[in-house]
Amino acid sequence: MLRVPVSNQDSSAVKLVLDDGTAFDGYSFGFKSDSPVVGEVVFNTGMVGYTEAMTDPSYSGQLLCFTYPLIGNYGVADYTFDENGICQGFESTGIKTRGIIVSRASETPSHYRMKHSLGQWMQSEGITGIEAIDTRELTLHLREKGVMMGVISASVQDGIEALRSTSDYSSIDFCRQVSTKSPVKYGKNAAGSIAIIDCGLKLNIVRCLVRRGFEVTVFPYETKFEELDSHYDGVVISNGPGDPKNCVPAIELARTAIDKSIPTLGICLGTQIIGLALGAETFKLKYGHRGQNKPCVDLKTGRCLVTSQNHGYSVDEKSLEGTGLEPWFRNADDKTLEGLMHENKPCISVQFHPEASPGPVDAGYVFDLFSDLVRERS
């Protein structure tokens, strides 16, 4: 196994133990937990964007492995807010990953906005990391065996015992844990008003809608359709963590909104929720799509986009018959479904992240198409 020198001399030896018994030796950094840290082990192939990824609520309950060999080289800025009250440079106001896995964490970052090193930021928020393991070997193992539960612990035995007593990732309703607890409003109503159902919302979705002139209200995950004021011109079902089949409240709301012909946009988990709401099926991908260079083909135009992605589940294209939904995007690599469009309702959805953050902005026009649907209804 590759041994990578670590710069933090106070690091202590720990292990990453996978559910299949595979173990990796490494050193702890960030918050030094006295107890094992358990989560679903997944990997992200992005070269930048660790602050956005780590604050993305979709990673809740997961141990995130970064495949890029050096993470943290531009440090971490303070949480600041723009004129609309939206946190800048992060996708939420706190780290949402259960822990992170890196080959090497930089202890000498440099950036003009930097206030903390990666390790200092994690320490302040109680998040554990493991470094100096061969992340290439780990990634290849997950690609071959599939994502699985894992634990950062002091010993293999401690890790095995922790895994035995932990619920499987797919059985937990993480959306309820990360969603806002009360409605929050952003922006001014120049183009219309949008209700976002927060299943684990990335803040750049809000930024993209506010820039297009919308007043945006973010509602808790368990909001019922009847609780939405009648003046909302469109509904967005956000991204989020976990198995979409656990998202019963959002599924019911999406079904009603679509039935009433309210312009509806689903993003990432929102696509799976819309599919389930109209009778399609979802399934878990072997190792998911997480990175910033994922090619997707727009089946309406033939154009291939480079997209930012973070998902472990997908809508089964074979189950679309009779749902009123038709394929909109398809992944150019594994041919899985990456977008849906309703045949006669103002409903569109994408499995990737059109808001990027991090990643390319090729797919930003998805928000423009949604804006058109809202204007047409008005």
Task: Please give the Cα distance from 52 to 357 (Å, whole number).
Answer: 6
Summarised one tens digit per residue, pLDDT across range 316-326 is: 999 999 999 99
Q: Which of 121, 55, 112, 48 is nearest to 87 (CA)?
A: 55
The confidence score (pLDDT) of residue 230 equals: 73
Could you give the CA distance from residue 230 to residue 5 in angstroms, rounded to a whole number?
59
CATH 3.40.50.880 domain extents, the chain: 174-377
Q: Tell me whether residue 268 is one of the annotated catalytic residues.
A: yes
Residues constituting the chain: 378
Given the residues 141, 289, 311, 353, select the one marked as catalytic.
353
Q: Which of 175, 199, 247, 268 is catalytic?
A: 268
Torsion 40-41-45-48 (CA) sign:
positive
Out of 3.30.470.20, 3.50.30.20, 2.40.50.100, 3.40.50.970, which CATH number does the structure's domain 13-169 have? Answer: 3.50.30.20
- pLDDT exceeds 50 at position 116: yes
Q: Where in the chain is the domain with CATH 3.50.30.20?
A: 13-169
pLDDT at residue 2 greater than cutoff 60? no
pTM of the full structure: 0.95
pLDDT above 70 (res 357): yes
CATH of domain 174-377: 3.40.50.880
The beta strand positions in 143-191, using DSSP E, are 148-153, 184-186
- Give how far Cα 204 sits from Cα of 201, 210, 239, 367, Å: 9, 10, 11, 12
pLDDT in tens, 137-179: 999 999 999 999 999 999 999 999 999 999 999 999 999 999 9
% of the chain exceeding 70 in pLDDT: 97
Q: What is the pLDDT of residue 297?
A: 98
Residues 6+ apart with CB under 8 A from 37: 63, 98, 99, 128, 151, 152, 153
**What per-residue confidence (pLDDT) applies to 377?**
84
Annotated catalytic residue 65: no
Whether the pLDDT of residue 204 is over 60: the answer is yes
Give pLDDT tens digits for 320-347.
999 999 999 999 999 999 999 999 999 9
Kindly report, residue by residue over 267-285, the tens digit of the pLDDT: 999 999 999 999 999 999 9
pLDDT of residue 3 exceeding 70, the answer is no
Instruction: Quick: pLDDT tens for 208-253.
Output: 999 999 999 999 999 999 998 778 999 999 999 999 999 999 999 9
289 a catalytic residue: no
Q: For position 269, what pLDDT does the model report? A: 98
Helix (H) or strand (E) holding 284: strand 282-298
Task: Evaluate the CA torsion angle 102, 89, 290, 150 in order and state its sign.
Answer: positive
Each residue's pLDDT tens digit, 5-43? 444 445 699 999 999 999 999 999 999 999 999 999 999
CA distance 334 to 313: 13
pLDDT computed for residue 276 by the predictor = 98
Q: What is the largest CA-CA distance in the chain?
A: 62
Identify the pLDDT of residue 328: 98
* pLDDT given for residue 15 in this prediction: 98
State the residue for tokens 């649907």: 373
